[in-house]
Every structure is written in C-alpha cells, then in structure tokens.
Structure 1
Amino acid sequence: MSKFLIKNATIVNEGKQFVGDVLIENDRIAKIATSIQDSSAVEINAEGKYLLPGCIDDQVHFREPGLTHKAEIYTEAKAAVAGGITSFMEMPNTVPNTLTQELLAEKYALGAQKSLANYSFYMGAGNDNLEEVLKTNPKDVCGVKVFMGSSTGNMLVDNEKTLNGIFGEVPMLIATHCEDEATIKHNLAVFKERYGDHITPEMHPMIRSAEACYISSSFAVDLAKRHNTRLHILHISTGKETNLFRNDISLAEKRITAEACIHHMWFNDKDYATKGNWIKWNPAVKTETDQNQILQALLDGRIDVVATDHAPHTIQEKEQTYLSAPSGGPLVQHALNAMLELYHQGKITLEQVVEKMAHNVAVCFQIADRGFIREGYKADLVLVDLNKDFTVERSNVLSKCGWSPFEGQRFNSIVTHTFVSGHLAYENGTFNESKKGERMLFNR
C-alpha cells in the first residue's frame, strides 16, 4: 500500500486557504485535517509551501501518432507533470486524424502505455463522420472536437448541414476552435498581394483577425442556443468574444462555456517584434486591450477555465519564414508558473488560479473525483514554493521540441512535488515513472 502524509501545507481549495495535513492512501485522499499522525506513511514536510489540486489542461496537442518528431505522449506528459498539470485532454488532429472509434481506442492504448499524467482524448468531428461521432461514450471520453476554422492538420468542418447535425445530435460536450476560414483566406490574399512573400509575424493578428474569431464564435454560440448544445469554445483571443458568455448563472448551469489560454493573457502584439514566430499561434495573439479584457473576463466569470493549447513544433520548423512556420508552441511545463506570476503581480488570487485551472475544468467536463482537494477524491496534488525563482532556458525545457516561448523569463515560483492519482510522480526535479497516469472518467 502506498501512503503519503503531507504536513503543514497551506492548502488552497474551494475559495479558501488554511494550514493543514493531507493523508494519501493508494490513489485517493484519505483524510484532510489540521493535524494527522500516521507512522506508516511517508511524510513530506510542506511548511511554507502551498498545496493545490493538480491542474487539468483541457486542450493539448501531444502529436502522437504521426507527428512524433515534434512531440510524443511520453515526453509531453512528463513536462506537464513537472509543471503541476496532473491531467490532460488531447486533441484529434494527429496523423491519422482521430475520426473513428478504432483510432480513438488506439490513442487511449498509447496513453495507458506512455503517459505519466492522467489522460483523456477527444473524438474528432469531420464533415462526414457523424455516425462515428455518435458512438462516442460520454462516460470515458472528454468531448467531441470541431475545428470551425482550420488549424494544424486538416479537420475543418465547414458544411453548415454537418454542423447542424453535430450540434443537434451529439449529446456530450462539443469543444470548438472558432476562426472563420473565408475571412482568413481573404485577409491572407490581401497581404500576399501587398507584401508577396515578405509577410512578417507582426501581420499574423491582422490575417487571423479579431473579426474572423468573432464571426465564428458568435455562429457557434447561435448554433448551440438553437440546439441546446453543450458547447465549450476554446482559446478565446479577443475582448469582443468575451461578451458572448454569461456570468449571471453558476458554471454547473451553463450550457455554453469558454476557455482562455496562457499565451493570450501573457503576450500581446507588441511581443511579435522580439518573439516572432515563437508566439505564432492560431488564434493569434492580439492587442494589449484584448489581453486585458480576456483576463478581466476570466476574473468576472464569463471565461470559465484556463488551458494551454500546448502544440509543439521543432525549432527548425519555427525558424522558417512566417508563411512556412507552423502555428503553436509548448506551454504545459510553465502554464502554472505563468499564472502564479500573475498572482505575484497582483492580477489574480491563488484561489482564482486554482478555480480556473482545476475546479472549473472538473465541473465543466463533469470529471469524476478530480479537480478538488476532498476526502475520497483522487490524489492529484501539487506542492509549490512561491518564494523560489528560476529562469526558463532551453537547457531546462522538458518538451521534446527543446524550446519555449518563455525562454529568458524568470518565474518567482516553482513546483516541488506532483502527485498523480496518489503516485508521487515528480519530486524536486526527479521523476518516478514506476506508475502511469489513469484514464479520466466523467459523471455523465
């Protein structure tokens, strides 16, 4: 039997902070109290440190199968665990695209074999696989992903009849990437006519514009309202889009929810001058006003969760010219650090960080027994030292791609311990890979 006793931690959970002990037995939290004594447990002195529920990232691209020169489940799950992310939900635009139940099952087999973190994989929706999508089990699959705007891969769903079918018939959560393809194609043609091959990264948010995002997001919201769909819109990148969402009802009551990503709250279009393609994402990083409005919507409850859209590419791929360089970058290792930095800057509370990166993801996706520090729940836990700094360098990046958009950034907090389903998977820079993560289940 595996037993750990975390002593004297400042526990941040469900809107409160208090100093206490947590006893872990096997994969679950056995007891939470002011003081616990158990001589049979391995004791961890957490005095001065903060104990958080493990972060749950609802949007990652770990590139396996088919794109493993960029990343793979094994490497990226380790990077996630080192960064305090104990569970992830991975996207279907791998090669081949996850458009059949057989291919989805193959990804779950890879997760069970390779992932140090807990895992779930989205079923992909295309223009002609609704019958396959409807076979998806809502109790053990996180959701169905619809690209309403092409991104990495070739999964654009642009047939209005198909979209009505998906939104009208799929009984589980539908997660969407919203950018209007026609608007983007028009903008790109205009910029190519004006600049030829000399388009620069600074032009990215003008090509993949705020208008393209709003047209698509508002269309998705209208579809969801028409069909009473359980819709979750990913990576909101504009201030205007935040007004599509409500904060006057509880999260559990919402049928339409929204996600913000780390990069859209950390960077803005002024950063293209120094970061270039390294911060080229879809949707694009936009203005400082958008950046501030996204954070405000996160704080006031219009945006419900924080994720990464972790999407690695190789250094060689990102060093190409703007038109050739792919969009996306690695973020799972430093997402919690970035949010804790916003806490240090006085922009968000620790309780809100925990709410948006753990509690709300669990509520939004109806995840069974995770996302909270509660007796009987799975022991997905992270200890952080808020007073120990480090600087991100290529030498300490764990993602397979070997780079980070945060290179040169000094963070004022570190993750010291990460428990994944009761297993101490990471401790002060060292991994214990003797036990893999678990498949997430959902109360649906």
Structure 2
Amino acid sequence: MTDLLIKNATLVNDNDTFEADLRVRAGRIDQIGADIAAMAGETVIDGAGCWLMPGMIDDQVHFREPGLTDKADMASESRAAVAGGITSFMDMPNVKPPTIDHEALVAKLDMARGRCAANYGFHLGATNDNIEAIKRVDGTRAAGVKIFMGASTGKMLVDDDAALEAIFEHSPLPILTHCEDTPMIEANADKARAAYGEDVPIRQHPVIRSREACIASSKKAMDLATRHAARLHILHITTAEELALFAAGPMADKNITAEACIHHLFFSEDDYDRLGALIKCNPAIKTEADRQAILKAVADDVIDVLATDHAPHARADKDNPYFSAPAGLPLVQHAVPSLVDQVSVGYFTIEQLVTKMAHNVADRFDIVDRGYLREGYWADLVLVDPRGRTVVDDEPVLAKCGWTPFAGHSFNARVKTTVVSGQLAYHDGKLSQGCIGEALAYDR
C-alpha cells in the first residue's frame, strides 16, 4: 500500500463539492482537510483542476471466469476497469460452471484472490431449482441474487412462476433482475426469420428484443417484489415506458431501484448501421428518444445506479450473422470518462454521478467502508481531469478481446489516477502491475 497525499483537488462527495487535500495511509483515507503538509515518504499527487471522487463500484460485469476465459478473465478485465476509474466490481453468475451454489461462489472468490487489480464481489445466480441454495447463501460473501427473467444460456433462465415466487419471498439478499419476456422474444424472432431467413439485419435487434418484452418483464418483477416486500434492483433499463414505473427521489426511500448502463446512455438505434453487431446487447439499444429519457431519468433521480454490464466477446464472433453474433460489449475501460462526458454536456451533475456510481451502489449492497470519501473508509479513489481528453484510438485496449465500441471517439474527460484499497492502480496512463484488490465485505 502507498502512503499518498492528493493536493489541491476538488472533492465530490455526499452531494457536495469542495476544495481539499486527502491523505491515504495503510490503505484507508486518513485525513481530509485544507493545506495538509506532506510527510516524509509520501507520494504526492497534484490534483489541481481535477475532481477527486470515490471510485466507481460497478455492480454488473461479466468477466467470464471460470470457463469462458477465451473472452476475458478477472485479471485482464480488472486492469481495464481501473484504467476506466472503476475501483470495485461485482461479477455475474452466468459462467461455466454457473455460480448457483455456495461451492461455486467460494471457488470464484478463491480465483479472484491475488489476481484482480480492483476490489471484487460476486452475485449468486438463481435457477428454477436452487431455492435452497439461495435461502442458505452467506450474505457476508455474496453481493446479491441475480435472476435472468429473459433469455439466457443453460440453466440461468428462471421461467417457472413458482420458482420466481419462492425467490422473491425468501431471498435474504437484494435481487437483481434482467427483465425481458422470453416468449415475446421468441415470437419476434420467428417473425424475423419468416421475413429475412437467417440473414436478419442488425437493425431488427430492438424489434426482436422488443420494448414490449422489457416492459412486461419489468412489470412482473415489480409486482413480485411488491407482494413479497423484496429488495429489487432492475438492471439496464432501456425504455421510456419502464422508467415511468419507478419513483423519483433519494434511493434511501426506495425498496425497488433502477439502473442504467453506459452504452444505453451513449448509443441509440441510429448507431446500428455504423457499428452493427458490435453494439448488439441484451436488452437491446433502442431509440434516441429512449436514450434521452434515460439521461433525463438520471438527472431526475429515477435512475438510482449507473453500471457498465461489461460483457466482452471475441471480435471475430461479432462478425457472424445476426443469430450467431453474441450479445455484449466491452465497456469498463471507458466507464468514468464516458459518464463525466455526459456531465460536461449538462445531462446531469457531477454530484449526481458520484451518488449513482459509488454512494448508492455501496448502500444498496451493504458494502462495508467503501463508496464514499470519508476518513477511516478504504481509499478507493478516482482523480479525473474534466478538461482532459480521452482519445480512444490513442491508447491500447486493455480488455482481452482487444476491441471497443468507442473506437474513433474522444471523451471530454480523462482519468488521471485510480487508487484501489490505498494502492496506486493507474496513474498518468500507466497501470501499476502490483495493485491487488480486496474482496468486498457486506454488512449483513
């Protein structure tokens, strides 16, 4: 760990912005104040003109380990993540074997130990028949319970109503849902095949993975959560109609929360002709009107959490015909620059961004001593230059897949420094190979 002093920065924390210095000692924030004098042996970083914020806690990534490491792994993707200002991640359970019981959860924690540049946590996956594993899950070791209420691979689709009722009634952890209605999607796919054969144009993706499929599934999840008083977090909202289902206001007042992802804030269906299957994802990127509605929902405090849903695939696989091209994008390396870019053009404030990328995630998942700039908390920090530029094509792609949907773009912000559990993880364009993240702890 590094004894570190960041001078002259503009701190963003607890819905406030103020100039101060911040000292890190023994992995934690030791002091926040004005004109802190440097001590012998400290690394000093000048933060003048930069925002110093708690690092992003990304509650939704697919780092593909175990079993899918040709696409990605925890080591490679966590290094891409810290370059993008992410200090902690929570990985999804749809791997091989899937993370659907205590043994698989412990195995993933063991795999991550000593290999991740960011702090790490893992969600337990729900199936039609693992309710007993969900009831017995160790809440101090699992982040949440993930339900795929839309098409997925293998055992991960939960489409049995009795199983859903049991999960919402008995889950001891927050429930995260991927909401799409599978029968609707399958019917739309049949219509597309009838019209185009197997050569379906990529612009049909939001028609096949339709808004109606998202709305119906989100309504079902919210009904289940309301009847069972469950803590529900609906992932990657993509339609204006879904946004109308959620309440505005501080997250502390809500039992049901909503999330948006950076690609749904950035791209619209107008980008399919240019990028093709590179932006194929589930749920699908939809209209420009939907994108604008999601951005407004962030500003109106309807959206509570911002995440990536980083889900890399080999570039060659993305070149396959529509039905064979996999869904998912690599996104973590440009997470914070893309979000601060949205601040720079006035969609929402920097204080709102910090609340939704750090504070609310820590609170929603009961994470211990992270997500805020507070003395005594772990030093998970990102220093961002809002006047800098991130020219995507000028830097190596750190994700194992080797490509990014942001190629050719420049963001109006630059990550200068990322600190993970008191260690320099990324600074002035360079990764620190010695940074090792910690397992997230949960206060349950």
TM-score calculated relative to the size of structure 2 = 0.97
Provide the residue aligned with 1:46 in structure 2.
47
Q: Is the 8 A contact 1:238 1:286 kept in 2?
A: yes
Alignment of 1:225-240 (within 5 A): 225-240=226-241
1:434 offset after TM fit, Å? 2.2
Please, what is the CA RMSD of the aligned residues? 1.3
Identity rate, percent: 50
| SS of aligned partner of 1:334 | helix
Provide the residue aligned with 1:339 in structure 2: 339
Q: What secondary structure, in the 3-state scheme, does the structure 2 residue paired with 1:277 have?
A: helix
Do the aligned partners of 1:94 and 1:153 also contact (CA within 8 Å) in 2?
no
Q: In 1, Cα distance between the equivalents of 2:383 and 2:302?
A: 29
Residues of 1 paired with 2:136 and 2:433: CA distance?
Answer: 34
Contact in 1 for aligned 2:147/2:175 (Cα 8 Å): yes
When residues 152 and 329 of structure 1 are mapped into structure 2, their CA distance, relative to the original with a 3 A threshold, is farther
- The answer (yes or no) to whether the contact 2:188–2:207 under 8 Å persists in 1 is yes
Contact kept, 8 Å, 1:394 with 1:407, in 2: the verdict is no
Report how far residue 252 of structure 1 moved.
1.9
User: In the TM superposition, what is the alpha-carbon distance from 1:363 to its structure 2 partner?
Assistant: 1.6
Residue in 2 that maps onto 1:56: 57
SS at match of 1:415: strand
Contact 2:299 2:349 in 1 (8 A): no
The equivalent of 2:161 in structure 1 is 160
Q: Which stretch shows the higher mean deviation, 23-32 or 147-156? A: 147-156
**Equivalent residue, structure 1, for 2:116:** 115
Contact 1:394 1:404 survives alignment (8 Å) = no
Change (3 A) 1:395 1:82: closer
Q: 1:10-29 residue pairs with structure 2 within 5 A? A: 10-29=10-29
Taking the aligned partners of 1:328 and 1:233, their CA distance within structure 2 comes to 18
1:323-372 deviation line (CA, Å, top 9, x unaligned): 11000010001011111111121212111111111111112212111111
1:299 alignment counterpart: 299
Which whole-Å CA distance do the structure 2 matches of 1:152 and 1:164 have between them? 21
SS at match of 2:114: helix
Q: Which amino acid aligns with 1:45?
A: D
Q: From the superposition, tell whether residues 153 and 118 of structure 1 become closer, same or farther in structure 2 (CA, over 3 Å).
A: farther
Alignment of 1:198-237 (within 5 A): 198-237=199-238
Aligned to 1:404: 404
Residue aligned with 1:375, SS: coil
Q: State how far apart, in whole Å, the 1-side matches of 2:46 and 2:255 are.
A: 42
Secondary structure of 2:152's counterpart equals coil
**Superimposed CA distance per residue, residues 79-137 of structure 1 (whole angstroms, 9 cap, x where no aligned partner):** 00011000000000001111121111110011113111001000111111111122211
Where does residue 134 of structure 1 map in the other structure? 135
**CA positional deviation for 1:374:** 0.7
Which residue is 1:350 aligned to? 350
Number of corresponding residues = 443
Contact 1:26–1:423 (8 Å) recurs in 2: no
Residue segments in structure 2 that go unaligned for 5+ positions in a row: none
Contact 2:3 2:23 in 1 (8 A): yes
Structure 1 pair 92/333, CA: closer, same or farther in 2 (3 Å)?
same
Q: Does structure 1 retain, via aligned residues, the 8 Å contact 2:298–2:348?
A: no
Aligned to 1:421: 421
Match in the other structure for 2:265 = 265
Q: Structure 1: which amino acid aligns with 2:17?
A: Q
1:84 equivalent in alignment to 2:85: yes
Query: Could you list the per-position Cα deviations for residues 33-74 of structure 1 after superposition, in whole angstroms to 9, with x for gaps in the alignment?
Result: 011113232211111222111000010000001100100000
Contact 1:278–1:329 (Cα < 8 Å) also in 2:
yes
Q: Which amino acid aligns with 1:190?
A: K
The 8 Å contact of residues 419 and 426 in structure 1, kept in 2 or not, is answered as: yes
Q: Once the 2 structures are TM-superposed, how far is the Cα of residue 394 of structure 1 from its aligned partner?
A: 8.3
Amino acid at match of 1:357: M
Q: Tell me the equivalent position of 2:151.
A: 150
Would you say the 8 A contact 1:308–1:332 is kept in 2? yes
Runs of 4+ with deviation above 6 angstroms: none
In structure 2, the partner of 1:439 is 439
TM superposition shift of 1:154: 4.4
| Matched residue type, 1:177 | H
Instruction: Describe the superposition over 1:208-232 as per-residue Cα deviations: whole angstroms up to 9, x where unpaired.
Output: 0000000000000000000001111
Task: Note the residue ranges of structure 1 that are not aligned, 5 or more in a row.
Answer: none
* Distance in 2 separating the partners of 1:90 and 1:207: 27
CA distance in 2, matches of 1:339, 1:356: 11
Is the CA contact (8 Å cut-off) linking 2:114 and 2:437 kept in structure 1?
no
Give the secondary structure class of the aligned counterpart of 2:332: coil
Q: Which amino acid aligns with 1:287?
A: T
Q: Distance in 2 between matches of 1:87 and 1:235?
A: 18
CA distance in 2, matches of 1:152, 1:342: 34
CA distance in 2 between counterparts of 1:100 and 1:365 reads: 19
**What amino acid maps onto 1:430 in structure 2?**
K
SS where residue 120 of structure 1 aligns?
strand
Counterparts of residues 234-383 of structure 1 (less than 5 Å): 234-248=235-249, 250-383=250-383
Q: Name the CA distance, whole Å, in 2 between partners of 1:388 and 1:362.
A: 28
- CA distance in structure 2 between the aligned counterparts of 1:348 and 1:153, rounded to whole angstroms: 39
TM-score with structure 1 setting the length: 0.97
